[in-house]
Amino acid sequence: MYSLFSQKLALLGLTSAHVISAGATVFCKNYFGASHRVLQLLTFCPTMQPNSSSCQRNFSCKRQKPQKDTLRHIKNREKRKGPNIHSAATVYVQVVGAGNRDAGSSIYVFSEYNRYLFNCGEGTQRLMQEHKLKIARLDSIFLTRMNWANVGGLPGMLLTLKDSGLPQCFLSGPPQLEKFIDAVKVFSGPLRGLNLAVRPYTEPEYSDETMTVYQVPLYAKLECNGHRRQFSPERLPSHVSPPRSPKPRSPKTDLLQLEENEARGSESDSSVGSTEIPARDPSLVVAFICKLHSRKGNFLVEKAKEFGLPLGTAAIGPIITALKNGQSITYEGKEILPEDVCTPSDPGAVFIVIECPNEEFIKPILESEQLKRYQTEASENTASLVVHMTPETVLQNDNYKKWMEGFPSTTEHLILNESSQTVHNLRIHKIQTQLNLIHPEIFPLLKSSQNKEHLMELPAPYVQGECLLKYQLRPKAEWQRDAVPVCNPTEFMEEALQLPDFNAKVEECKQNLAMGTTNLYRKADEYPEVVFLGTGSAIPMKIRNVSSTLVRVSSSQCILFDCGEGTYTQLSHHYGGDVDEVLCKISAAFISHLHADHHTGLLNLLIQRERALKTLKQPFRPLLVVAPPAIITWLFQYHDHCQAILKHINVIPAKCLLEGREVPKFKTRSFIQLLLETYNLEKFETCLVRHCHNAFACSMVHKSGWKIVYSGDTMPCDALIQMGKDATLLIHEATLEDGLEDVALEKTHSTTSQAINVGMKMNAEFIMLNHFSQRYAKIPLFSADFNEKVGISFDHMRVRLADFGAIPKLIPPLKALFAEEIEEMEERREKREMKLMKVQPVLDVKQENNVKQRQQLSVTEELRNPTEFSTKKRDREENCQDLENKKLKII
């Protein structure tokens, strides 16, 4: 019934969102019949505007979710409120990202009352998911500066916090932070349900149950076009007025502005379309001084017994209170001092988080009076720990060394920078090592892109950051390494080889591959080569990252299909020390739509690409970006308020590549021609697909004859089938398993069989499924439609045209490797089907009763007032016909 329903909607140019209204409901009942399954679908779907431009993580005909219960730790916090609350007993600082190419510098601070995150670069959420650092418990996020290295993971993190039911989160840092959140809402939509309390550095200190945090602004005088400049709000020259409020933006006006800037040859180092001082301020870094609240000593019961105190009676309460408050008491003629029966009180340790991105910031750090207070020895304010998010070039500066030397010998120093050799994402190394046993070429081992390890000469004792390294501040100050991940490939291989039937299935697969003759004529074809960098959906998880696919068209040119968060990190894992060469070969990227899991890795890719071109001494050239027009608004807002990035791109609106679309602007036509010439393409085409507003798929036809089609996110779509006719390779999303068609329809995605069916109708030579729901973390469930033309993708899987015959033969060893996970998923499916079987008869009876009641009411109404009933019936029929005609005109 679902497939018939979807097909008839498609014939009329409708999606489920178009039919969810009173008139459309009547139309559906008349057009499809009053099937209980159709009526069920209608009850699932709230009223929506079919052309809504909202781009939230879940969209379309989304069923109304019940209001989430208050999170348990929020309830406990409310109970704790009162004058006698005790300070946290356990507090530690833990490294999340160690500052190398795998993950930017970030730390997680834990207490039994609160959780904090300092900086949130790309991949932070994925690391926290993998290592079970509870995201939903975050109270506050502190950012040291407005740079993508520090905020790249924040858009996805905020969406996850919203979905978790967290009612409020504090954000502290540079004043542009609020503008950044506004920019994120361009593609995320309003973050309803999550109250973001933004606290720029000008706000008073932040305090909660665990500690007080003081923000320390540090201003550097940066060189800009040969001149010194410093754009702090307090130091604006008298003849300069602060930046005005930005005018309302739209993709159309932003695209026009971008073209004007390119025509003027602007390098976009100033606010776009304005002569004002830009709102972004690269001269500002915020340091954080964190002081734990003092904690009273513990009352020692055994000692109290020795002094004969009245334990177990009502009199003991005031005695304990007085002793813990540091007061002596007299009991039965004996004076009892606090230290006799209590442990020493803890005045509260201090730790400092500081970023010094370049040598221009050393002087303001040295001159900061607030920081100097914590370098005094034998003081309660002496820093116990200083976290340095500082590159090695700055650490080797004599003045910075002098500042470090100013702290007492008891102060510990934690270094987070590019010199770290730690492994962050242990699970991807494990699964890739095991997949490599099945086919070493299709599943190549991951490579390291880290710098060679060497010891830095620093005046103070220091510890190089490692993922999950802890420094405990309370109850006892000490380093703890028990959680630091260790990568042991031998252990990973032995674990796989001990699985039942795995080794046998691998050997059988190798024999089948040796006997096979499929695609012999393509053995010499090295290109195109498809590298899957992210094959999951919605949020990055420990096994599958979010959407990104690299197509190596030739030895010198690559193109990206989507660029989700962490794409650059995935490239680093895959290519290791050669990643810069690959970055220089990426000349274009296609962004299918503006959901966070498909484009938030683009900015880091642009920044790292510019660095790679400079490192390899290649001329700079902007990246061609084929994307929905709304991406320009997001890029403009980030450029205006955070970091200059517009010079990195030339935008081709995806709609300009629709079949038959005329492109009036010369600039856009020249970009399209450049795209075709760069990749030696005969055609690059897009089509609108059935997902969110302005969602596109793409097709690229090479002059040598091959054709690759990428679906993006979509339900089964006739326009995609038409565009992709006779494709060599179709990469199609298969978010959900068969049997979840209602969920797929609700979320406007495809099931496994639906994706395969699209490929068959397209007459595609081979179909690779990707974009799997994170419920299928390791492997999706196989459907009956799987055949020799279908494969499933994994992160870091490498596919060439010659591999089409081999990929289906990999399924038996894959099933053996993930047998336990497949069994669990099949059990869940059986439980779900059993539940539906119990519910279905009840729904049928209710539906039948409802139909009978409506029929009875209609007969009664007709008997009472035949003329009025006839008029109403005719009006309903006319309304339905009008709606049908309107939709037919759209086709």
pLDDT digits (tens, 9 = 90+) for 548-575: 999 999 999 999 999 999 999 999 999 9
CA dihedral for 792, 798, 801, 806, sign (positive or negative) = negative
Task: For residue 885, name the pLDDT band (cuts at 50, 70, 90).
Answer: very low
| Torsion angles phi and psi, residue 696, rounded to 5 | -130, 155
Least confident of 82-96, 720-734, 796-810: 82-96
Interval 212-226: pLDDT, tens: 999 999 999 876 544
Task: For residue 304, name the pLDDT band (cuts at 50, 70, 90).
Answer: confident
> Is residue 158 classed exposed, middle or buried when 0-12, 13-18 and 19+ CB atoms within 10 A define those classes?
buried
In this prediction, residue 70 carries a pLDDT of 59
Interval 705-726: pLDDT, tens: 999 999 999 999 999 999 999 9
In this prediction, residue 890 carries a pLDDT of 36
**Mean pLDDT, to the nearest integer, of 222-236?**
47
Least confident of 317-326, 433-442, 823-832: 317-326
Q: Does the pLDDT value for residue 532 go beyond 90?
A: yes
CA separation for the pair 130, 771 (Å, rounded): 19
In this prediction, residue 260 carries a pLDDT of 58
Interval 332-346: pLDDT, tens: 888 888 888 888 888
Contacts of 842 (CB under 8 A, 6+ apart): none
Q: Does the pLDDT value for residue 65 go beyond 50?
A: yes
Q: What is the mean pLDDT of the chain?
A: 83
In this prediction, residue 816 carries a pLDDT of 96
| Torsion angles phi and psi, residue 342, rounded to 5 | -130, 150
Which is higher by pLDDT, 636 or 324? 636
In this prediction, residue 422 carries a pLDDT of 93
Q: Does the pLDDT value for residue 258 go beyond 80?
A: no
| Torsion angles phi and psi, residue 587, rounded to 5 | -105, -15
In this prediction, residue 785 carries a pLDDT of 83
Query: What residue type is assigned to position 146 of the chain?
Result: M
CA separation for the pair 83, 89 (Å, rounded): 17
Cis peptide before 174 (omega within 30 of 0): no
CA separation for the pair 666, 420 (Å, rounded): 48
Task: For residue 37, name the pLDDT band (cuts at 50, 70, 90).
Answer: very low
Query: What residue type is assigned to position 22 of the chain?
Result: A
Interval 721-756: pLDDT, tens: 999 999 999 999 999 999 999 999 999 999 999 999
- Per DSSP, 546 falls in state S
Percent composition of the chain: helix, strand, coil (DSSP 3-state, to 5):
40, 20, 40
Task: For residue 80, name the pLDDT band (cuts at 50, 70, 90).
Answer: low
In this prediction, residue 835 carries a pLDDT of 82
Which is higher by pLDDT, 199 or 46? 199
Strand 222-224 and strand 729-733: the pairing is unpaired
Which is higher by pLDDT, 108 or 833? 108
Interval 125-159: pLDDT, tens: 999 999 999 999 999 999 999 999 999 999 999 99
Contact between 687 and 660 (Cβ < 8 Å): no
In this prediction, residue 796 carries a pLDDT of 98
- Per DSSP, 276 falls in state S
CA separation for the pair 343, 478 (Å, rounded): 19
CA separation for the pair 362, 41 (Å, rounded): 62
Torsion angle, CA of 853/854/860/863, rounded to 10 degrees? -150
For tokens 């109403």, the residue is 872
**Assigned token pair, 747:** 């979320």
Cis peptide before 628 (omega within 30 of 0): no
In this prediction, residue 446 carries a pLDDT of 96
Contact between 602 and 625 (Cβ < 8 Å): yes
Contacts of 662 (CB under 8 A, 6+ apart): none
Least confident of 41-55, 109-123, 389-403, 444-458: 41-55
Task: For residue 296, name the pLDDT band (cuts at 50, 70, 90).
Answer: confident
In this prediction, residue 282 carries a pLDDT of 87
Exposure string of 18-47, with b = 16+ CB inside 10 Å and e = fewer, is: bbbbeebbbbbeebbeeebbbbebbebbee
**Mean pLDDT, to the nearest integer, of 466-474?**
97
Q: Is 631 helix (H, G, I), strand (E, B) or coil?
A: helix
Least confident of 211-220, 299-308, 542-551, 616-625: 299-308
Query: What residue type is assigned to position 799 of the chain?
Result: V
In this prediction, residue 344 carries a pLDDT of 82
In this prediction, residue 143 carries a pLDDT of 97
Which is higher by pLDDT, 337 or 589? 589
**Assigned token pair, 682:** 């005969």
Query: What residue type is assigned to position 341 of the chain?
Result: V
In this prediction, residue 845 carries a pLDDT of 67
Helix residue spans in 799-865 (DSSP H): 811-817, 819-864
**Assigned token pair, 262:** 């390119």
In this prediction, residue 19 carries a pLDDT of 41
**Mean pLDDT, to the nearest integer, of 862-872?**
62
Contact between 598 and 592 (Cβ < 8 Å): yes
Q: Does the pLDDT value for residue 836 go beyond 60?
A: yes
Distance from first CA to last CA of the chain, Å, rounded?
23
Which is higher by pLDDT, 282 or 594? 594
CA separation, residue 399 to residues 228, 354, 543 (Å): 21, 16, 43
Whether the pTM exceeds 0.75: the reply is: yes
Q: Is 874 helix (H, G, I), strand (E, B) or coil?
A: helix
In this prediction, residue 85 carries a pLDDT of 60
Task: For residue 119, name the pLDDT band (cuts at 50, 70, 90).
Answer: very high
Instruction: Select from 696, 722, 725 the least CA-distant residue to 710.
Output: 696
Task: For residue 777, name the pLDDT band (cuts at 50, 70, 90).
Answer: confident
In this prediction, residue 832 carries a pLDDT of 85
